[in-house]
Amino acid sequence: MKWILVQSFSFPCEAQIAKSQLYAVGINSRIENEHTINMDWLYSNALGGVRLLVLERDFEDAKKLLEQDFSDAVDEVFVEEKIRCPQCQSQHIVSHTHGKRVAYLLFMLLGFPLSKVEHGYLCQSCHHFFKL
């Protein structure tokens, strides 16, 4: 059987993801130029990118699979649950590191940090710091 180009990519990681998609449905594939472009990515355009090849008999199935957009399905699975502030129940929450400024100043003055640093969340409404 003859190997033919189904799609080319700028970066090897994109080709590996596509190869995994094909492997999941039982389509054999191989990647060309991966190691050369990993060594120097500027060769990507000159070599025609990282090339994903499939057997001629699997070309149509592979092309259809790689043309599908699964981004909506991923968004449905990974919908982030909103965190609420325990004090005011607001959903305007940001990730925050409490005590970072003091630790930085002590590090600059003494050469080592002496204060405690805590990672958690800060409510933008009432400025309450909390951990989950």
Mean pLDDT of 56-70: 91
- Asked if residue 9 belongs to a domain, the reply is yes
Q: Residue 44 belongs to what domain range?
A: 3-77
Give the pLDDT of residue 47.
Answer: 87
Helix, strand, coil % in the chain, rounded to nearest 5: 40, 25, 35
Question: Is the pLDDT at 125 greater than 70, yes or no?
Answer: yes
- Asked if residue 8 belongs to a domain, the reply is yes
Residue-wise DSSP of 17-71: HHHHHHHHTT--EEEESHHHHHH-GGGHHHHTSEEEEEEGGGHHHHHHHHH---H
- Asked if residue 11 belongs to a domain, the reply is yes
Give the pLDDT of residue 27.
Answer: 95
Give the pLDDT of residue 21.
Answer: 93
Question: Which of left, alpha, beta for 128 (phi over 0: left; psi -120 to 50: alpha)?
Answer: beta
| Overall domain count for the chain | 2
Give the pLDDT of residue 81.
Answer: 62
Q: Which of 77, 104, 120 is the last residue of a domain?
A: 77
102 and 63 fall within a common domain: no
Mean pLDDT of 43-62: 92
User: pLDDT grade, residue 75 (50/70/90)?
Assistant: low
Mean pLDDT of 73-90: 71
Cα torsion angle, 39, 30, 65, 70, sign: negative
Give the pLDDT of residue 96.
Answer: 82
- Asked if residue 112 belongs to a domain, the reply is yes
- Asked if residue 85 belongs to a domain, the reply is no
Give the pLDDT of residue 40.
Answer: 86
8 and 73 fall within a common domain: yes
68 and 99 fall within a common domain: no
- Asked if residue 97 belongs to a domain, the reply is yes
Give the pLDDT of residue 71.
Answer: 66
72 and 98 fall within a common domain: no
Give me the phi and psi of 70, to 5 degrees please. -100, 10
Return d(Cα 23, Cα 67) in angstroms, integer: 15
- Asked if residue 88 belongs to a domain, the reply is no
pLDDT in tens, 12-50: 999 999 999 999 999 999 999 999 988 888 888 888 899
54 and 7 fall within a common domain: yes
38 and 98 fall within a common domain: no
- Asked if residue 126 belongs to a domain, the reply is yes
